[in-house]
A and B are shown apart, each in its own frame.
Chain A
Amino acid sequence: MSAPTSPAATESSAARVRRRLSGRAASIAAIVIAVVWTLPTFGLFVSSFRPEQEIKTTGWWTFFTDPSLTLANYRDVLFGTASQGQLASYFVNSFVITLPSTVFVVALAALAAYALAWMNFPGRDWIFLGVFALQIVPLQMSLVPLLSFFSEGVSIGGVQVLPAWELEGAFQFTTVWVAHTIFGLPLGVFLLHNFIAQLPRSLFEAARVDGAGHGVIFRRVVTPLIVPALMSLAIFQFLWVWNDLLVALIFAGGGVETAPLTVRLAEMAGTRGNEWQRLTAGAFVSMIVPLLVFFSLQRYFVRGLLAGSVKG
């Protein structure tokens, strides 16, 4: 800042040069990382628009010297025959699975979090602790019994207490909704409890003086105030369910009637691993919705991450 008159100042100008050099090295390092992180997706994206013959015989980087574009891959993989992917149907399935699973978790978690934060009943703290602890139980611990619960019902000592859910056609989605709702609840309750418990007590007292019960307070006072938290949770649950493979594999089966995009793509990667014209376009069909959600609502997503919402 000051005129270079003292030896200390020459030293600091040397330091400045060094800093500028290291600044350049830092920029290069940052660019290298950014390229490594972006290039694989970019390569797949470019390939998805190249004709089948070219994807299979030349690298996607040759596209820039010899460009040829086609939408045939997307047309075939979305609307073609069953062996080409038929992804449009699976796309519908993904939606039908994801929307209710998100709505159910957000609503039930909000009610439960409100009860745990602002209602007085015996055992409240223990129940909260229990729900909190459930976050650490891996999905794998409940898959086998939950599946038999749906397929065989519950019997205690040979007596059938609950019947099997013999669902067919579109009704089969119900088991996937229930499974995803169950697996999303511990994190949802925990996350929303953090927000709801921080609301000022005076708010509730004022509402109660006006004669409002819990139902009204929840609807008119609490819900509007926790919209950002609800958004965060909704985005997380949406992305989680849309991107999930394991739960869908077990509870939705593999058919075109109920299986989501992830199940179909994983299957195509396994059985038709070299049909790159389908895999590239298919991968982007499955990515477009989460990417849109993510980029339009990134703010809420980041806020949710920082509040500790990473599901187990």
Chain B
Amino acid sequence: MGFSLLEELPKILWLVIGVAGFAAVIGLLLLLVDRGPKTRRDWWQAVCFLGPALLLLLLGLVYPAIRTTALSFFDRSGDSLVGLDNYVWMFTQPEILTVLRNTLLWVLFAPFLATATGLLYAILVDRSRFESVAKSLMFMPMAISFVGASIIWRFVYAVRPAESDQIGLLNQIVVWFGGEPQQWLLNQPLNTLLLIVVLIWVQAGFAMVVLSAAIKAIPAEIIEAARLDGTTPWQLFRHITLPSVWPTVTVVLITISVQTLKVFDIVRTMTGGQFDTSVIANEMYNQAFRYGELGQGSALAVFLFVLVIPLVLVQMRTNRRAREQR
């Protein structure tokens, strides 16, 4: 039972039909937009262009978000109202408290370390001979899926019994230094920190690229003047680079924080949320789609949303301030 092209044919066919059908609809819209009724013309035109997107958003995001909020006050099947029970459950159940603690660990470590590494690297390779190659190296993980990244790191953390050869790089390094190989992914809370490393590995590239652009925007005269005054690299960083890129640092920190709050793929691929490594997004998936606990799953989703809101508000304020300064 190997691969047979014939079995794949229906998929390809449906792909072609789907895209062709869509193209026909768009073509029709482009024709209809200027052939509408003479009265209420502006409405007709807006409906043609904006209608499809708006309809999808209303049906697929706005209505579901309201429905999820409502569901979070209902029982597991969504039939009877239970008030705040699901939220009480969330903050009293020991397993869920571990989940919340882990999410906190993620948000405390991942954004800060990813941004710091990205900034450091951006400064180190700035204006060096191999800048673009060096940047690509750190940037590359951005293109890889979290699932792929997780497999890469699971291999780094792989363990073999002490008497045999190690196949995981981390344990081999431990052995080279005379230590005992560890079951890295089983011992909490170290395992959560090791999962966080994967996200840092992926997101540092994003921080590096955005911050590198900010560094390049610092006027060359300022840096040249500081050099002539004999400033040390540290002083240059402390008094010129860091203050200049600070608004960008905030934006990067918040963007990565939002991503971190929603992290799901890494936990699912690395440990499946076992060994006390689960986070909110993973638990939400488990509750709603594996245990059929719609109420509890929805409550977790709403809590995630509530955590994201203040971050986004801060970000919008920083953005506005940055625009006013320009």
State whether B60 touches A39 (Cβ < 8 A): no
Q: How far is the CA of A30 from the CA of B270 in the complex (A)?
A: 28
**Does A189 lie at the interface of the complex (its beta carbon under 8 Å from any beta carbon of B)?**
yes
Q: How close is A235's CB to chain B, nearest CB, in angstroms?
A: 10
**Does B120 lie at the interface of the complex (its beta carbon under 8 Å from any beta carbon of A)?**
yes
Query: Which secondary structure dominates chain B's binding surface?
Result: helix
Q: A81-B1, A246-B285 are in contact. Are A140 and B230 (CB under 8 A)?
A: no
**Does A239 lie at the interface of the complex (its beta carbon under 8 Å from any beta carbon of B)?**
yes
Q: A141-B65, A291-B144, A294-B143 are in contact. Are A186 and B57 (CB under 8 A)?
A: yes
Candidates B45, B117, B120, B140; contact of A214 at CB < 8 Å: B45
Over the window 248-262 of chain B, the binary record of Cβ atoms lying under 8 Å from chain A Cβ atoms (1 yes, 0 no) is 000000010011011
**Does A7 lie at the interface of the complex (its beta carbon under 8 Å from any beta carbon of B)?**
no
Chain A interface bracket (under 10, 10 to 19, 20 to 34, 35 or more): 35 or more
- Chain B residue contacts of A61, Cβ below 8 A: 169, 172
- Chain A residue contacts of B7, Cβ below 8 A: 89
Size of B's binding interface in residues, CB under 8 A: 115
**Does B225 lie at the interface of the complex (its beta carbon under 8 Å from any beta carbon of A)?**
no
State whether B155 touches A149 (Cβ < 8 A): no
- Chain B residue contacts of A174, Cβ below 8 A: 18
- Chain A residue contacts of B264, Cβ below 8 A: 245-246
Give the contacts of B207-252 with A (CB-CB under 8 A). 209-210, 213, 230, 232-233
**Does B178 lie at the interface of the complex (its beta carbon under 8 Å from any beta carbon of A)?**
no
- Stretch in contact with the other chain, from A197-205, A224-232, A298-306: A298-306
Q: A139-B262, A146-B64, A276-B155 are in contact. Are A107 and B22 (CB under 8 A)?
A: yes
Query: Would you list 29 pairs from A and B whose C-beta atoms are within 8 A, ordered by A residue?
Result: A19-B233, A22-B232, A27-B124, A34-B134, A34-B137, A37-B141, A37-B205, A44-B152, A47-B155, A100-B22, A103-B22, A107-B26, A111-B52, A120-B42, A121-B42, A124-B46, A137-B305, A138-B304, A140-B301, A143-B64, A173-B14, A173-B18, A183-B60, A213-B33, A250-B289, A266-B268, A276-B158, A290-B144, A293-B143
7 A-B pairs with least C-beta separation: A213-B34, A182-B60, A243-B145, A142-B64, A294-B143, A145-B64, A115-B49
Binding site for A on B (CB under 8 A): 1-3, 7-8, 10-15, 18-19, 22, 26, 29-34, 42-43, 45-46, 49-50, 52-54, 56-57, 59-65, 67-69, 71, 117, 120-121, 124-125, 128, 134, 136-148, 150-156, 158, 164-169, 172, 201, 204-206, 209-210, 213, 230, 232-233, 255, 258-259, 261-262, 264-265, 268-270, 272, 281, 284-285, 288-289, 294, 297-298, 300-302, 304-305, 308-309, 312
Binding site for B on A (CB under 8 A): 11-12, 15, 18-19, 22, 26-27, 29-30, 33-34, 37-41, 43-44, 47, 55-62, 78-82, 86, 88-89, 92-93, 95-96, 99-100, 103-104, 107-109, 111-112, 114-116, 119-121, 124, 127, 131, 134, 136-147, 149, 169-171, 173-174, 177-179, 181-183, 185-186, 189, 213-216, 218-219, 239, 242-246, 249-250, 262, 265-266, 269-270, 273, 276, 279-280, 282-283, 286-287, 290-291, 293-295, 298, 302, 305-306, 310, 312
